[in-house]
Amino acid sequence: MISKTANKAIILVGEDCQEWICCDSLLPALAQQGIWLAGYSELQHLYQIHRVLPGIDTLLVTVSGQGMVKLADHWQMQHAGDWVWLPSGSLVQYQLTDPDTTTPWQLCWILFYSTKTPALTRYQSGATDQALQLKLLLQFLYNEQQNPKADQSSTLCCQQLRILTQRVRQHTMVAPLEQLRQRLVTSLDKAWTVAEMAESAFLSERQLHRLCLQHWGQTPKHYLQLLRLRHAAMLLTSTSLSIKQIAHQTGFSNPYHFSTVFKAHYQQPPGLYRLQKHPLFIDETQSD
């Protein structure tokens, strides 16, 4: 499906995508909780959203798979447990990272009527352990929507949805780590040291090491490298930047070292990864 509206919104939904959508016109209890639309999607092969929703705040929560969301002037990869908050009036733009993957991007999304609360008028992102619970609740709510006699249970379900989305947006990860993560993803080209990372998070190096292992399951240096490789993979599949440019933008001073590290992680060198994943190169290969 291709949809374009007056404000130049673009909505591309492929035939392999499945979506379960709840709306306040069918479930008035949603509106009582300040929610316009809510849903759960399994996205594969073709999916792209590009629109502005005045008066509507957007919460996206990834259950599994991966996609990417544009936050202000940069793209941010989304993996299991990641969430982003897109405030009213901002560009809502997200899409699949790899259209050819056999693993769908499982995504929960909730569109709120904006309250203009100062804390909710800026881009936010974080990680949560509530994603699967949110998916199950949305699936149950969708089934309730099909039952016109389920007024009481749907009201309770919508109340629970509001509570759960508030929990999602409360950083289950300690605040210093989340603040550090956001600084890292916006400055991956910087030659970060562990000491600088600890200072940025207002932690000692020992505290940072302990918290990273506890919440990320990796040391600070390994987590930083993972962020760099994920961003590099996104640039390879969505831009025409050279390998050298991508290496530089993701904090690798030596493109040969970048290629070695990338191949060790993705089991493919950057050039081959791009050849198999980038739509431009795929089209050229198919035309041959």
Residue, of 54 and 5, whose pLDDT is higher? 54
How does pLDDT run across 131-186, given as a tens digit for each residue? Answer: 888 999 999 899 888 876 666 677 888 888 888 888 777 654 556 787 788 889 88
pLDDT category at 120 given cuts 50, 70, 90 is low
pTM (two decimals): 0.62
Cα–Cα distance, 32 to 161 (Å, whole number): 12
How does pLDDT run across 226-237, given as a tens digit for each residue? Answer: 999 999 998 998
Contacts of 124 by beta carbon, 8 Å cutoff, 6+ apart: 84, 85, 169
Lowest mean pLDDT among 103-107, 176-180, 189-193: 176-180
pLDDT category at 67 given cuts 50, 70, 90 is very high
The Cα-based distances of 172 to 46, 128, 234 in angstroms read 32, 6, 26
pLDDT category at 246 given cuts 50, 70, 90 is very high
Residue 99, helix vs strand vs coil: coil
Q: What's residue 213's pLDDT?
A: 86
Cα–Cα distance, 85 to 27 (Å, whole number): 23
Q: What's residue 287's pLDDT?
A: 45
pLDDT category at 193 given cuts 50, 70, 90 is very high
Contact yes or no for 47/109 (Cβ under 8 A)? no
Domains of the chain from N-terminus onward: 2-169 (2.60.120.10), 175-287 (1.10.10.60)
pLDDT category at 80 given cuts 50, 70, 90 is confident
pLDDT category at 248 given cuts 50, 70, 90 is very high
